[in-house]
Structure 1
Amino acid sequence: MTEIARRAKQSLELIHAMIYFAPEAADGFAGLGLERGLMSYYAGRSAAMGPVGAGVVAATFYNFNPESVAPVIPRAWSIAAPEAVLAARLKAADAALRRLLGDATVASGAVAETAELAREAAQACTPDGKPLYAAHADLPWPDEPHLKLWHAITLLREFRGDAHIAALQHGGLSGIQALALHSTVPGGFDGNAAKKLRAWSDEQWDRAFQELRERGLVGADREITEAGHALREEIEAATDAMSMAPWSALGEARTTELIGSGGRLSKALVEAGAMPRGLRRTR
């Protein structure tokens, strides 16, 4: 039954994640004076927590190099207050969804119905041990259905993401080790892209693979081993189990309905170019 949590993630996540690749977001943050790239990403995603320091951002984002956080957080908050960043992000989500889906789809009954299902699911989540989810859950709900949907999927994504970090720690994988191991599986994060986007050096990347090899999770050729596959599945299953609250609340039939309607919107986003090729199956 817990596999439905993974299906929901795969079907729905892009409705939120498109914001990280939307030029509307990059331009909106730049308009506040934030630097493009990591400063905007870190500030945009962490603003719900308030003007937090580098340690909090590094801990909750997990697989990004902490050394890349300190130069831009908390400096970002001296440039733009978290409230301004959040407003710019929501405005960007509105513009991006309208561009990618079209005004007719945004105003459709299908989006409104999907938003209500997603909201009900998100409101069944609990904040215990889920810092990024809890921060976003404290934000007011948008009124417009497409933004209500975007916010609900944001909550569901961060709820599962917080659970995934707990599962990774239980499995003994650091952020960079988890990222490196993910790059070894078919459909996983391309290693070069992962290293660059998460700001890890070649030396740090090589050390992570050496540590994985010492645990028997990858071989000398950096190919994942049976033990590596087993650990990854154990971690994903644990994440699924810790992410079941929204889907248990909706029930199987209504969850399947949300997966279907959300999946159709995600497909439309993919076809509209919402996410670069090679990144569509990353967490």
Structure 2
Amino acid sequence: MKSLQRRLWEAVEPLHAVVYFAPETAAAAKAVGLPSWWMGYFAGRVAPLGPLPEPPATAMLFGFAPRMVARSLPDAWQYAEPAVVLQTRMDAVEVALKRLLPADAPFEELAELLELAVTGCDYAARPLAAAWSSVARPATPIGRIWLAATVLREHRGDGHVLSAVAAGLRGLDTTLTHVGSGAVTREVLQSNRGWSDEDWDESVARLAGRGILDGDLRLTEPGIVLRQRIEDDTDRLATGPLDALGEDGAAEVVRIAVPLSRRIFDAGAIPLPNPMGAPRP
């Protein structure tokens, strides 16, 4: 049975993840002068932290190959300042959500609940979540929903990185355990994370040497246990927002958000499968 933390993530993640696939956000990045989609992605993801160079960005984004991040950062800041990237990205995703979601949805209620959940976040060793938590609250309920969903998403993601590192895994190693579970394919993830075939083979050998992957690149029994421990730790580290909401509040978030997230998937606004491993709730 899925934990309430995971049900909450599945319900809310699509409300955030629209930003990665919506044509509005790609157009906004291009409009401010960023010359590639990936430059828009990396600049937009870390914009609240200021004009970061590649090394700290790679450390935080974890699953991406350093060379892929280096193709975008710090060059992105020559084209647009972080504050400009941030504001245009937020404006664009709000337009996208208004296009995708029904106008009569209870946005104000959901915004208030998600903002309550954010009050339960602990930002120690969570730089991405901490940075997004410092962004000024938008004026509209839809904008508030997206920002709160983003803080919650990065809070959980930072916790996932902490869990994986504690288990002795590197970024690509963690990705391979996800592929080895059958939840997502190499074809979906390798090109989206910038790893070469040589990188991939080295990680496979490293995990096979630890008895985590078998010859068919599937998780072994110890690998399944390790992966489950990482997921359980990720859930445990995401309990703060759940504590702030209480079980009834969390259930209400799921009740409101699930139909909205399903609508996003059903409109084709987020692909299945996707690099985040987010399912249709």
Which bin holds the TM-score, normalised by the shorter protein? over 0.9
Instruction: Name structure 1 gaps, 5 residues minimum.
Output: none
Matches of residues 166-177 of structure 1 in structure 2 within 5 Å?
A: 166-177=162-173
Q: Given the alignment, which residue of 210, 218, 221 partners 1:215?
A: 210
Q: Which letter maps to 1:145?
A: P
Secondary structure of the structure 1 residue equivalent to 2:96? helix
Deviates more, 1:87-96 or 1:1-10: 1-10
Normalising by structure 1, we get a TM-score of: 0.95
| 1:84 aligned residue | 84
Residue 116 (1) aligns with residue 112 (2):
yes
| 1:132 aligned residue | 128
Distance 1:12 1:53 in 2: 30
Q: How well do the aligned residues superpose, as a CA RMSD in angstroms? A: 1.5
Distance 1:213 1:17 in 2: 32
Q: How many residues align?
A: 278
Normalising by structure 2, we get a TM-score of: 0.95
Residue 10 (1) aligns with residue 15 (2):
no
Q: Which letter maps to 2:13?
A: E
Distance 1:209 1:150 in 2: 36
What displacement does 1:2 show? 9.5
| 1:46 aligned residue | 46
Contact 2:192 2:275 in 1 (8 A): no
| 1:35 aligned residue | 35
Contact 1:2 1:244 in 2 (8 A): no
Deviations 1:196-231 (A, max 9, x none): 000001111111111111111111111111111100
Secondary structure of the structure 1 residue equivalent to 2:180? coil
Q: Which letter maps to 2:28?
A: G
Contact 1:65 1:200 in 2 (8 A): yes
Deviations 1:151-210 (A, max 9, x none): 110000000111110000001111001111101223x22111200000001111111111
Deviations 1:96-116 (A, max 9, x none): 1011114x24xx4x1211111
Percent identity, please. 36
Q: Provide runs of 4+ in structure 1 moved above 3 Å.
A: none
What displacement does 1:29 show? 0.1
Instruction: Name structure 2 gaps, 5 residues minimum.
Output: none
Secondary structure of the structure 2 residue equivalent to 1:262? helix
Contact 1:12 1:153 in 2 (8 A): yes
